[in-house]
Chain A
Amino acid sequence: MEGFFRLDWAAFWWFIALPCLAVGVYQLKKVLKADREALPLLGVTGGFVFILSSLKLPSVTGSCSHPTGTGLPAICFGPWITSVIAAIVLLFQALFLAHGGLSTLGANIVSMGIAGPLAGWGIYRLLRDTPINLYITVFLSVAITDLVTYVITSLQLALASIQLILPTTVPVSMAEVVTYFLVYLGIFVITQVPIAILEAIILVLVFKYIVQLRPGILIRLKIFPEEKIMTARSDA
């Protein structure tokens, strides 16, 4: 979406993204130092961000979009560390694939790396200590992360296009922002619904493998209560 953000908007999103990235880098150092088993978990959950965000899948609207994969690291490490993983992938895409330029990178980090994962992480935190099955929690959290990413992208573009029509400091009409937001939402989110569901099912399967192979790290990082993980483990 290069070129749609004027300098002020590009700077605004960078301004939000940078402190989150700083917290993420700090937390990442801390968690990797505290537990040697955190690195493989980071690799597995972060690796899927690389894989899934490169797959542009056809959808019901006759256009293509890609899953984000950021739900799983959001559950395991929280939204700030996830923003660092997303920033690495988005930087690669900005440098070599012309998918969002360097000025747009801040906005992309906010939608894919911060806002989406924050929403998914919120759902996970709400459901973690309830009797709801942990796989259902993972499913909902991953799907919400994916969808909210594109809701925020639509919002960012709606705000930006208002600025483009009124290039001076004329007050922005709320009605216009809402109209544009809904237009972009219609394109992005409808395309995204089947992709988000597919992504969530696949990442539930990945989470099952993590539960089976390495339940210890999930318990130590308090990702889910021990009894829930043990139940899920004996179940499958």
Chain B
Amino acid sequence: MMLRRYRFEILSIIAILLFSALFLYTSSQMGTARFAGTDTVVSSEISKITGIPEEEYRPLVWQWVPPSSEIESALFALQAATGGIIVGWFFGYWKGLKERG
């Protein structure tokens, strides 16, 4: 009964664990894997195919680039936190409505 009631919670935990296990396995098997973004991998693939070095591809519109990966991850965290606040705010609102009846 409990198992059925929380089946999606259990399934989610299992999925996260399997995903993590898969990562540990991959990173142990692929010694050279750098876990760069797929866009980076495809970028170098494109320059291989076209024979044009990656540096020669320039954005058409001037673009600000985060000066370091620390700043980049801070901005990504900001994006995730914004989403988290919005989701939490409205779930809390719904929960409050439900409890008030």
Contacts and interface: CB of A to CB of B under 8 A. Distances in A.
Contacts of B84: 47, 50-51
Given A40-B90, A48-B87, A98 B64 contact: yes
Nearest to A179: B49
A53 B22 CA distance: 21
Interface in B49-75: 49-50, 52, 57-61, 63-66, 72, 75
A96 B89 contact: no
Contact of B11 (A50, A63, A165, A201): A201
A60 B77 CA distance: 24
A64 B79 contact: no
A209 B83 contact: no
Interface in B38-52: 38-43, 45-46, 49-50, 52
A6 B46 CA distance: 14
B81 to A, nearest CB: 9
Nearest to B57: A3
Given A3-B59, A49-B83, A194 B42 contact: no
Interface residues of B, number: 61
Interface residues of A, number: 71
Given A55-B80, A64-B38, A205-B8, A98 B63 contact: yes
Contacts of B43: 1, 4
Interface of A: 1-7, 10, 39-41, 43-44, 46-65, 89, 92-99, 101-104, 135, 157, 161, 164-165, 180, 183-184, 187-188, 191-192, 194, 197-198, 201-202, 204-205, 208-209, 213-214, 235-236
